[in-house]
Amino acid sequence: MKVIVYLSLLVALGFFAACGPPDRKSNQVFWDPDKDTAWQEHLAQQKNGSSVETSEGKKLFDMNCASCHFPDKDMTGPALKGARERWIENSSEENFYAFIQNSQNVIKDGDSYANELFRRWNNTVMTPHNVTKEEIDKIFDYVENFFPTVAVTS
Ligand code: HEC
């Protein structure tokens, strides 16, 4: 009888040891802001005032695109993050610029990615925009470096 009590005590001890809090250091699965270089750069820019929030790309975006697009969320049109890569993969970079300047031209030319987008967005027409390739590059510099605003406590 004594042996059984002793054994079950041992089992219970082993059980508690296994269920203890995980060792955080060896078990790091969470986002670590200190190791996220893009995030650190963003914070540094925010501090010295040269952030993407004051860039020419943001101004162009606000003036021409923000009525229908967010960088990171769908609205009247799709979230713009990653759009250049989607075009390069599914169509071409040339058509990426052409679509922004005059989406209906690219759709009418029969580009399959443009037509699929148009269908998926219920045939909503993206108005033509008088922006140069350089301006589009600036807009996408802003879009790709955009982070949602969070309260910085430090
Ligand atoms: C009047 C609303 C409207 C405005 C303004 C607008 N867009 Fe769009 N955009 C759309 C819609 C809707 C789509 C989805 C495709 C379609 O319906 O033709 C789209 C699609 C796109 C796409 C393709 C996204 C993808 O996932 O491949 C890009 C890139 C884009 N817009 C960039 C821009 C840029 C840059 C501006 C500003 C210069 C802009 N748009 C202004 C409505 C708009």
Ligand 1, pocket residues at CB < 6 Å: 64-65, 67-69, 76-78, 80, 83, 86-87, 100, 103, 117-118, 121, 124, 126-127, 129, 131, 139
Q: Which token pair is 117?
A: 């987008």
State the burial class of residue 127 (Cβ atoms within 10 Å of its Cβ: 0-12, 13-18, 19+): exposed
pTM: 0.74
Q: What is the pLDDT of residues 56-115, one digit of tens each?
A: 999 999 999 999 999 999 999 999 999 999 999 999 999 999 999 999 999 999 999 999
Distance 46 CA to ligand 1 centre (A): 28
| Ligand 1 centroid, distance to 42 Cα (angstroms) | 26
Helix (H) or strand (E) holding 133: helix 133-145
Choose the residue to mutate in 60, 100, 126, 129 for probing ligand 1, maximizing ligand atoms within 8 Å of C-beta: 126
Q: Which of 138, 120, 114, 149 is nearest to 64 (CA)?
A: 138
* Of the candidate ranges 18-22, 27-31, 53-57, the one whose mean pLDDT is the lowest: 18-22
Q: What is the CATH number of domain 55-147?
A: 1.10.760.10
Chain Cα centroid distance, residue 21: 33
